[in-house]
């Protein structure tokens, strides 16, 4: 089973949100499914106001390409510009240095907790 952190909130489309920092990223499960990530482009800028479902990043691996969507609404206060130069960070540290954007004013109350997300992943892994 992939790594799921209990302090984060999750979406069924494999994004995570940290309510304490406002950071958003791609889950360990998702990076494992994509395999070796070779390209990341952040599609939003600091200062943008985004809604739930706004495309925030384009991710390409040796197996597939995927868009990452915002799990929360709010104001983007930071983007992780280091990912474009080191996209493999999403594979090696998806919950740390692999964060994509930071959002303020976000409400994560409708997102999945760690246990619900784990159950969802288990259902898709079979």
Domains of the chain: 9-107 (2.40.50.100)
User: What's the full length of the chain, in residues?
Assistant: 126
- The alpha carbon dihedral of 38, 20, 79, 41 has a sign of positive
CB atoms within 10 A of CB 111: 21
At 58, is the pLDDT very low, low, confident or very high (cuts 50, 70, 90)? very high
Confidence (pLDDT) at 123: 87
Interatomic CA distance for residues 40 and 99, integer angstroms? 11
pLDDT at 1 over 60: no
Mean pLDDT of the residues in the chain? 94
Confidence (pLDDT) at 126: 55
- Of the listed ranges 3-17, 65-79, 82-96, 112-126, the least confidently predicted one is 112-126
DSSP code at position 82: G
| Phi-psi group of 53: left, alpha or beta (phi > 0 → left; psi -120 to 50 → alpha; rest → beta) | left
């Amino acid at each position: 089973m992939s790594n799921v952190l209990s302090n984060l909130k999750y979406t069924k489309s494999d994004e995570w949100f940290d309510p304490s920092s406002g950071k958003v990223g791609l889950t360990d499960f998702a990076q494992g499914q994509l395999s070796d990530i070779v390209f990341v482009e952040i599609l939003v800028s600091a200062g943008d106001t985004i809604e739930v479902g706004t495309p925030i990043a384009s991710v390409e691996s040796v197996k597939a390409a995927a868009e990452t969507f915002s799990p929360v609404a709010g104001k983007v206060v930071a983007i992780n510009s280091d990912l474009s130069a080191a996209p493999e960070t999403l594979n090696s540290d998806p919950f740390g240095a692999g964060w994509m954007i930071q959002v303020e004013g976000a409400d994560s109350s409708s997102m999945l907790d760690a246990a619900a997300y784990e159950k969802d992943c288990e259902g898709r892994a079979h």
